[in-house]
Each structure stands twice: as C-alpha cells, then as structure tokens.
Amino acid sequence: MNVGPTSAHIALLPGDGIGPEVIAAAVECLQAVSAIYGFRLSFSEHPIGGCAIDACGAALPEATRLACLASDAVLLGAVGGPKWSDPRAPVRPEQGLLSLRAAMGVYANIRPVQVHPRVAQYSPLRAERLRQVDFVFVRELTGGIYFGEKQRENGVASDLCRYSSMEIERVLRRAFELARHRRRKLTSVDKANVLETSRLWRETAQRLASEYADVQLEHQLVDSMAMLLLTRPSSFDVIVSENLFGDILTDEAAAVAGSLGLLPSASLGEGPRGLYEPIHGSAPDIAGLGIANPSGAIASAAMLLRHSLGMGAAASALESALWLALDEGALTPDVGGHHSTAELASAVTGHLWSQSAVDASVARA
C-alpha cells in the first residue's frame, strides 16, 4: 500500500560519462509509474562532479547543494572521468559526492544484491554458487579514512581513520533493523585483530546485539569476508561495514551479480530524504554510445520511491517490470545483449503499462 505524498520534487544530478544517459532512462520509468499510481513528480537538473568543475569551478556548486537540500530525494548518475583524473588536482569530481553525502547527512549506503537468471552466466562464479543469492550491504558513509586528516611531507603520507561510537552505532542500528525485517542474520565486517577503530566497531556491535536478540550476529574479518563473498555468497543476509571496507566489498559483490550496471544503492540518514545512485562509475569509454546499462539507475529509482516517498507498491511494480524486461531478454551489451539504454527503459515502461492494464481489468471484473 502506498502511503506517500501526492507530489514530490526530485533533484537530478546526471553528472559525468554515462550518468546523463542512465538518469534519463530512470526518469522515463519514474514518469510512467507516477502516472499509473496517480502521484505527481517534478524534476530539476543540477551539475555535480567533473562537469560542475568545468562549469562552476567546484565539484559541488552551492546552488546544487541547496537544490538537493530543498528536494524530497536526489537521483545521481555518476561522477568522474579521465579528464579529471589527476590525483594532484586541488578539485576532483569525487569530492562533490563526498561533500553532498555530508551535506545531506546520509550515513548508511544500502546496496541490495540479487542475481538475475538471465545474466548469471556473466558472473565469474559457478552457477551453483549463485543459487539463492540475496543479500544487502550496509556501508557506513561519513566516517573513516576517507574523511580523516590527511598529511604528506618529506616523502611520508598518512590518512587518519577515525570513528566515534555514535557514528558506528547509528549505522549498526540501521543494519540490525534491516536484518530484523529480512532473514534475521547480520554479518559485521571489521579488522579487529589489527585496527583500533575496528575493535570499537566490534564492541559496539556486540553491545547492540543484546537489543536485537532476534537477529543472529556474526563477525568477519574483512580479508576473510572478501573470500567468503566469492565462495559462499548465498549464506549472507545483511552485511554491515565501515566506509573503506564497504567501498571495496560492494564492488566485489557487483561482480558476483554479473555487471556493475545492474545494482542500485540508497544513501539514507535520519529523515526520509535520500541520495540514490547506481553503483557503477561514469564509464567514459561508452559514454554517448547509448549502450549503457540503466538497470542500476532504474532500480535506484525504485528504492527512491520506497524509502523517500513511501510508495511501496509503486516501487515493487517498477522492480517487477525491470525484472521482467531482463527476463525477456532486454539486455544491454555488458550482459551479452544488443539492446540500447533507451530500448531497455522502453521495455520496462511497457511492462509497467501492461501490468496496469491487467490490474484495471481485474478491478472492473
């Protein structure tokens, strides 16, 4: 049942590379599902990343930041590319995304991973290891080494990894709550045998576990977790980790699914407003060719409907339509198909309208 607003405004940040192409596909699907379910969506487009550096001199212009904070949700494409890849540059595209996450107060990145049967052959894993793979990563977003003090002097460099109990507790609670509504198993990833921040992480997880007695908690060291994701991915339900570990492990998990282009993400804080983006990068080698896989962006749009707008039925309908389109062979080249970005989006909207017609017919009967 939908309990969300009758209208909402979405800030679009297409970004660089294939970002504009996949965001256009996601907007097409959002427009279709909003028309079917009778709520109004409005959109405004703003620069971020490399294109924002070129246009405004900043990876996150102030106007973009303010527009995102005034919106009901933010849908982002991708940032970065070879043009801005100099690590010594004072302003880099990734800084825009990091700054936006901090400005929005989103601290938990949610990344669901499932394997669609039609694309399972593109996973590096054997088919038997992919059966019943259905897990969700919860990655902490605003702390850790990415945000710690950085120094470089006389040939010596350092990056400070810092976490507070509050930062750890809030993301762990998000993960415990998610596990409670799934299969009631939570895997916490750390490096507690070496790192003090990880020891605080593990202690906090163990303390919170007493409040979630219905959830089974296990701990995995990050190095062993990297192996287990490939050897027994179906054994996991909800996985939670700090920022750097989560960044690395979620890309590995995308390989399990068969393509980076398939997976969505939602970055959430305390309120309903969230930041939604496919997990892939800007893929400059195929930008402008019309062949980018919009599945991750479309699935991110479904997460936007569910988490920020409370439109659960609409979100499920969009996810089902995407699944059906893939099932019927509407596949882009990254997963062995010949469909364009626009053709896959059209296949998804076609399934949305077809299901809507069926539902209307049933209602009249």
Amino acid found at 60: L
Q: Out of 223, 285, 327, 359, which one is annotated catalytic?
A: 223
Q: Out of 122, 159, 185, 247, which one is annotated catalytic?
A: 247
Q: Out of 16, 107, 190, 191, which one is annotated catalytic?
A: 191
Is 247 assigned a catalytic role?
yes
Q: Out of 83, 122, 146, 159, which one is annotated catalytic?
A: 146
User: Residue 277 in contact with residue 75, Cβ under 8 Å?
Assistant: yes
Distances (CA, A) of 10 to 90, 97, 149, 302: 30, 17, 34, 13
CA-nearest of 75, 138, 74 to 111 is 138
User: Residue 55 in contact with residue 84, Cβ under 8 Å?
Assistant: no
Q: Out of 83, 122, 134, 251, which one is annotated catalytic?
A: 251
Distance CA 136, CA 303 (A): 13
The H-or-E segment that residue 157 falls in is strand 156-159
Distance CA 62, CA 75 (A): 17
Is 86 assigned a catalytic role?
no
Strand 266-268, strand 274-276: pairing? antiparallel
The answer for residues whose C-beta is within 8 angstroms of residue 288's C-beta and 6 or more apart is 21
Is 134 assigned a catalytic role?
no
Tokens of 22: 């996949």
Active-site residues, by number, are: 146, 191, 223, 247, 251
